[in-house]
Amino acid sequence: MHLIDKIIELTQQKIPFACIHIYENNLPQLSLGMCTVITHEDIFSVIDDDNISGSLAQAARDILEENHSCQLSVYRKKELILKAFVEVFPQPQRLVILGAGHIAQPLCDLAKIMNFDIYVVDDRPDYANSQRFPQAKVIVGEFAEVLNDFSSSPHTYFVLITRGHTFDSACLKILVNKPYAYIGMVGSLRRLQGVFKLMERQGYSKSILDKIHAPIGLPLGGDSPQDIALSIMAEIVSVRNRGPLWAQNLKEEFRGLKKSQVSKKTLHWDE
Protein backbone atom coordinates (compact mmCIF):
# COMPACT_ATOMS: atom_id res chain seq x y z
CA MET A 1 0.00 0.00 0.00
CA HIS A 2 1.27 3.46 -0.90
CA LEU A 3 2.09 5.67 2.08
CA ILE A 4 -0.48 8.24 1.00
CA ASP A 5 -3.17 5.57 1.03
CA LYS A 6 -2.03 4.44 4.46
CA ILE A 7 -2.18 8.00 5.79
CA ILE A 8 -5.73 8.36 4.45
CA GLU A 9 -6.71 5.05 6.04
CA LEU A 10 -5.24 5.96 9.44
CA THR A 11 -6.93 9.36 9.33
CA GLN A 12 -10.31 7.86 8.51
CA GLN A 13 -9.95 5.30 11.31
CA LYS A 14 -8.85 8.03 13.77
CA ILE A 15 -5.64 6.17 14.61
CA PRO A 16 -2.82 8.44 15.85
CA PHE A 17 0.32 8.36 13.72
CA ALA A 18 3.48 10.27 12.88
CA CYS A 19 5.25 10.95 9.60
CA ILE A 20 9.05 11.03 9.64
CA HIS A 21 10.33 13.32 6.89
CA ILE A 22 14.09 13.02 6.21
CA TYR A 23 15.49 16.36 5.08
CA GLU A 24 19.24 15.91 5.69
CA ASN A 25 21.35 12.75 5.71
CA ASN A 26 24.85 11.38 5.28
CA LEU A 27 23.87 7.84 4.32
CA PRO A 28 24.11 6.85 0.65
CA GLN A 29 21.18 4.44 0.88
CA LEU A 30 18.77 7.17 1.90
CA SER A 31 17.37 9.94 -0.25
CA LEU A 32 16.20 13.34 0.87
CA GLY A 33 12.46 13.53 1.19
CA MET A 34 12.05 9.89 2.19
CA CYS A 35 9.11 9.36 4.52
CA THR A 36 8.19 6.77 7.12
CA VAL A 37 4.76 6.48 8.74
CA ILE A 38 4.50 4.95 12.22
CA THR A 39 1.73 4.19 14.66
CA HIS A 40 2.09 2.88 18.20
CA GLU A 41 2.12 -0.66 16.78
CA ASP A 42 3.26 -0.56 13.13
CA ILE A 43 5.87 0.85 10.75
CA PHE A 44 5.08 1.72 7.13
CA SER A 45 8.43 2.57 5.59
CA VAL A 46 10.20 2.91 2.26
CA ILE A 47 13.58 2.66 4.03
CA ASP A 48 15.24 -0.69 3.33
CA ASP A 49 17.58 -0.57 6.32
CA ASP A 50 15.62 -2.23 9.16
CA ASN A 51 18.00 -0.94 11.84
CA ILE A 52 17.56 2.67 10.77
CA SER A 53 13.83 2.26 10.22
CA GLY A 54 13.34 0.61 13.61
CA SER A 55 15.42 3.21 15.45
CA LEU A 56 13.56 6.06 13.79
CA ALA A 57 10.23 4.44 14.63
CA GLN A 58 11.07 4.06 18.31
CA ALA A 59 12.14 7.68 18.60
CA ALA A 60 9.05 8.80 16.68
CA ARG A 61 6.78 6.79 18.99
CA ASP A 62 8.19 8.67 21.96
CA ILE A 63 7.41 11.92 20.14
CA LEU A 64 3.94 10.65 19.22
CA GLU A 65 3.28 9.91 22.89
CA GLU A 66 4.23 13.50 23.75
CA ASN A 67 1.74 14.66 21.12
CA HIS A 68 3.95 17.41 19.64
CA SER A 69 5.77 17.51 16.29
CA CYS A 70 9.50 18.19 16.49
CA GLN A 71 12.87 17.89 14.77
CA LEU A 72 14.92 14.73 15.26
CA SER A 73 18.70 14.39 14.89
CA VAL A 74 20.11 10.86 14.58
CA TYR A 75 23.70 10.06 15.53
CA ARG A 76 25.74 6.92 15.05
CA LYS A 77 28.85 6.76 17.24
CA LYS A 78 28.70 10.53 17.78
CA GLU A 79 28.51 11.23 14.04
CA LEU A 80 25.40 12.91 12.67
CA ILE A 81 23.85 10.62 10.06
CA LEU A 82 20.51 12.25 9.39
CA LYS A 83 17.99 14.88 10.39
CA ALA A 84 14.26 14.44 10.15
CA PHE A 85 11.07 16.22 11.04
CA VAL A 86 8.55 14.09 12.93
CA GLU A 87 5.07 15.38 12.19
CA VAL A 88 2.49 14.14 14.69
CA PHE A 89 -1.14 13.47 13.78
CA PRO A 90 -2.70 12.75 17.18
CA GLN A 91 -5.89 10.92 17.94
CA PRO A 92 -8.96 13.08 18.46
CA GLN A 93 -9.09 14.39 22.00
CA ARG A 94 -12.12 13.74 24.15
CA LEU A 95 -13.86 16.35 26.25
CA VAL A 96 -16.09 14.83 28.92
CA ILE A 97 -18.47 17.34 30.49
CA LEU A 98 -19.90 16.10 33.77
CA GLY A 99 -23.04 18.12 34.30
CA ALA A 100 -25.52 19.29 31.66
CA GLY A 101 -26.40 22.66 33.16
CA HIS A 102 -26.25 26.18 31.75
CA ILE A 103 -22.44 26.25 31.30
CA ALA A 104 -22.35 22.96 29.39
CA GLN A 105 -24.15 24.23 26.27
CA PRO A 106 -21.77 27.08 25.32
CA LEU A 107 -18.85 24.85 26.35
CA CYS A 108 -20.03 22.23 23.86
CA ASP A 109 -20.26 24.85 21.13
CA LEU A 110 -16.66 25.94 21.76
CA ALA A 111 -15.38 22.37 22.03
CA LYS A 112 -16.92 21.53 18.67
CA ILE A 113 -15.06 24.42 17.06
CA MET A 114 -11.82 23.15 18.66
CA ASN A 115 -12.33 19.64 17.22
CA PHE A 116 -12.93 17.70 20.42
CA ASP A 117 -14.99 14.54 20.58
CA ILE A 118 -17.57 15.63 23.15
CA TYR A 119 -19.39 13.62 25.81
CA VAL A 120 -22.01 15.07 28.15
CA VAL A 121 -22.97 13.12 31.27
CA ASP A 122 -25.87 13.84 33.62
CA ASP A 123 -28.46 11.85 35.53
CA ARG A 124 -31.32 14.12 34.40
CA PRO A 125 -32.77 13.21 30.98
CA ASP A 126 -34.52 16.60 30.80
CA TYR A 127 -31.05 18.18 30.73
CA ALA A 128 -28.93 15.48 29.08
CA ASN A 129 -30.47 14.89 25.67
CA SER A 130 -29.56 15.28 22.02
CA GLN A 131 -31.92 18.22 21.57
CA ARG A 132 -29.86 20.34 23.97
CA PHE A 133 -26.51 18.86 22.88
CA PRO A 134 -26.68 17.88 19.19
CA GLN A 135 -22.88 18.11 18.88
CA ALA A 136 -22.16 15.64 21.71
CA LYS A 137 -22.54 12.02 22.68
CA VAL A 138 -24.98 12.20 25.57
CA ILE A 139 -24.90 9.68 28.42
CA VAL A 140 -27.76 9.64 30.93
CA GLY A 141 -26.92 7.96 34.21
CA GLU A 142 -25.50 8.31 37.69
CA PHE A 143 -22.15 10.08 37.46
CA ALA A 144 -20.16 7.51 39.44
CA GLU A 145 -21.65 4.56 37.56
CA VAL A 146 -20.90 6.15 34.17
CA LEU A 147 -17.33 7.07 35.12
CA ASN A 148 -16.53 3.65 36.55
CA ASP A 149 -17.21 2.14 33.12
CA PHE A 150 -15.84 5.02 31.04
CA SER A 151 -12.61 4.36 29.14
CA SER A 152 -10.21 7.32 29.26
CA SER A 153 -6.71 8.02 27.99
CA PRO A 154 -3.95 10.63 28.40
CA HIS A 155 -5.87 12.58 25.73
CA THR A 156 -9.12 12.83 27.72
CA TYR A 157 -10.20 16.13 29.28
CA PHE A 158 -12.73 16.14 32.13
CA VAL A 159 -14.80 19.14 33.22
CA LEU A 160 -16.65 18.88 36.55
CA ILE A 161 -19.63 21.25 36.47
CA THR A 162 -22.32 19.16 38.13
CA ARG A 163 -25.12 20.70 40.15
CA GLY A 164 -23.37 20.20 43.49
CA HIS A 165 -20.00 19.57 45.09
CA THR A 166 -21.21 16.22 46.41
CA PHE A 167 -21.38 15.01 42.81
CA ASP A 168 -18.14 16.78 41.84
CA SER A 169 -16.25 15.17 44.73
CA ALA A 170 -17.60 11.71 43.92
CA CYS A 171 -16.51 12.13 40.29
CA LEU A 172 -13.10 13.45 41.28
CA LYS A 173 -12.33 10.42 43.46
CA ILE A 174 -12.86 8.18 40.43
CA LEU A 175 -11.09 10.36 37.87
CA VAL A 176 -7.79 10.75 39.76
CA ASN A 177 -7.28 6.99 39.34
CA LYS A 178 -7.79 7.12 35.57
CA PRO A 179 -5.47 8.39 32.81
CA TYR A 180 -6.33 11.94 31.79
CA ALA A 181 -4.95 15.08 30.20
CA TYR A 182 -6.96 17.52 32.29
CA ILE A 183 -9.40 17.63 35.17
CA GLY A 184 -11.05 20.96 35.93
CA MET A 185 -13.47 21.55 38.80
CA VAL A 186 -15.79 24.54 39.19
CA GLY A 187 -16.27 26.33 42.51
CA SER A 188 -14.91 29.01 44.77
CA LEU A 189 -11.33 28.67 45.99
CA ARG A 190 -12.46 28.41 49.61
CA ARG A 191 -14.93 25.62 48.93
CA LEU A 192 -12.49 23.71 46.72
CA GLN A 193 -9.78 23.91 49.37
CA GLY A 194 -12.25 22.36 51.79
CA VAL A 195 -12.94 19.52 49.35
CA PHE A 196 -9.23 18.85 48.83
CA LYS A 197 -8.43 18.92 52.55
CA LEU A 198 -11.16 16.35 53.15
CA MET A 199 -9.78 14.15 50.36
CA GLU A 200 -6.26 14.41 51.83
CA ARG A 201 -7.62 13.17 55.15
CA GLN A 202 -9.20 10.29 53.23
CA GLY A 203 -5.80 9.26 51.86
CA TYR A 204 -5.49 11.10 48.55
CA SER A 205 -2.02 12.58 48.13
CA LYS A 206 -1.49 16.32 47.78
CA SER A 207 0.64 15.74 44.66
CA ILE A 208 -2.37 14.16 42.93
CA LEU A 209 -4.77 16.87 44.03
CA ASP A 210 -2.37 19.63 42.95
CA LYS A 211 -2.86 18.48 39.35
CA ILE A 212 -6.54 19.39 39.42
CA HIS A 213 -7.33 22.73 37.78
CA ALA A 214 -9.46 24.36 40.44
CA PRO A 215 -11.05 26.83 40.34
CA ILE A 216 -11.57 25.82 36.73
CA GLY A 217 -10.67 28.10 33.81
CA LEU A 218 -8.41 31.03 33.12
CA PRO A 219 -9.28 34.32 34.87
CA LEU A 220 -10.93 36.20 31.99
CA GLY A 221 -13.10 38.32 34.27
CA GLY A 222 -16.61 37.37 33.11
CA ASP A 223 -19.34 35.53 34.99
CA SER A 224 -21.97 34.68 32.36
CA PRO A 225 -22.29 31.03 31.24
CA GLN A 226 -20.63 32.01 27.95
CA ASP A 227 -17.78 33.78 29.74
CA ILE A 228 -17.20 30.82 32.05
CA ALA A 229 -17.31 28.37 29.14
CA LEU A 230 -14.74 30.45 27.27
CA SER A 231 -12.45 30.57 30.31
CA ILE A 232 -12.69 26.77 30.67
CA MET A 233 -11.97 26.15 26.99
CA ALA A 234 -9.08 28.63 27.05
CA GLU A 235 -7.48 26.68 29.89
CA ILE A 236 -8.08 23.33 28.18
CA VAL A 237 -6.53 24.56 24.93
CA SER A 238 -3.53 25.96 26.80
CA VAL A 239 -3.03 22.55 28.44
CA ARG A 240 -3.44 20.78 25.10
CA ASN A 241 -0.98 23.02 23.31
CA ARG A 242 1.59 23.86 25.97
CA GLY A 243 1.02 21.61 28.98
CA PRO A 244 -0.37 21.96 32.53
CA LEU A 245 2.50 24.11 33.82
CA TRP A 246 1.91 26.66 31.07
CA ALA A 247 -1.77 26.87 32.01
CA GLN A 248 -0.90 27.20 35.69
CA ASN A 249 1.48 30.05 34.96
CA LEU A 250 -1.19 31.80 32.92
CA LYS A 251 -3.65 31.45 35.76
CA GLU A 252 -1.14 32.86 38.21
CA GLU A 253 -0.62 35.77 35.82
CA PHE A 254 3.04 35.04 35.19
CA ARG A 255 2.72 36.40 31.68
CA GLY A 256 6.43 36.64 30.87
CA LEU A 257 6.70 33.20 29.32
CA LYS A 258 7.95 33.21 25.74
CA LYS A 259 6.84 30.95 22.95
CA SER A 260 9.51 28.35 22.36
CA GLN A 261 10.85 27.52 18.97
CA VAL A 262 10.13 24.13 17.41
CA SER A 263 11.37 21.58 19.91
CA LYS A 264 14.29 19.36 19.00
CA LYS A 265 15.35 15.85 19.95
CA THR A 266 18.50 13.84 19.47
CA LEU A 267 18.79 10.09 18.91
CA HIS A 268 22.11 8.32 19.47
CA TRP A 269 22.23 5.00 17.71
CA ASP A 270 25.22 2.65 17.76
CA GLU A 271 25.43 -0.44 15.62
Tens-level pLDDT at each residue, the chain (271 residues): 578 888 889 888 878 899 998 888 877 766 677 788 988 888 887 676 667 777 888 888 888 877 788 999 888 788 888 888 999 988 778 999 999 999 999 999 999 999 899 999 999 999 999 999 999 999 999 999 999 999 888 889 999 999 988 898 899 999 999 999 999 999 888 888 888 998 999 999 999 999 999 999 998 888 899 999 999 999 999 998 877 877 877 777 533 444 444 566 666 655 4
**Domain edges within the chain:** 3-90, 94-251
Mode of pairing for the β-strands spanning 35-38 and 43-45: antiparallel
CA distance 170 to 168: 6
Domain at 94-251: CATH code: 3.40.50.720
Contacts 24+ apart (CB under 8 A), 185-193: 185/160, 185/212, 185/213, 185/214, 185/215, 185/216, 186/103, 186/160, 186/161, 186/214, 186/215, 186/216, 186/228, 187/214, 187/215, 187/216, 188/215, 189/214, 189/215, 191/165
Contact 174, 148 (CB under 8 A): yes
Amino acid (one-letter) located at 37: V
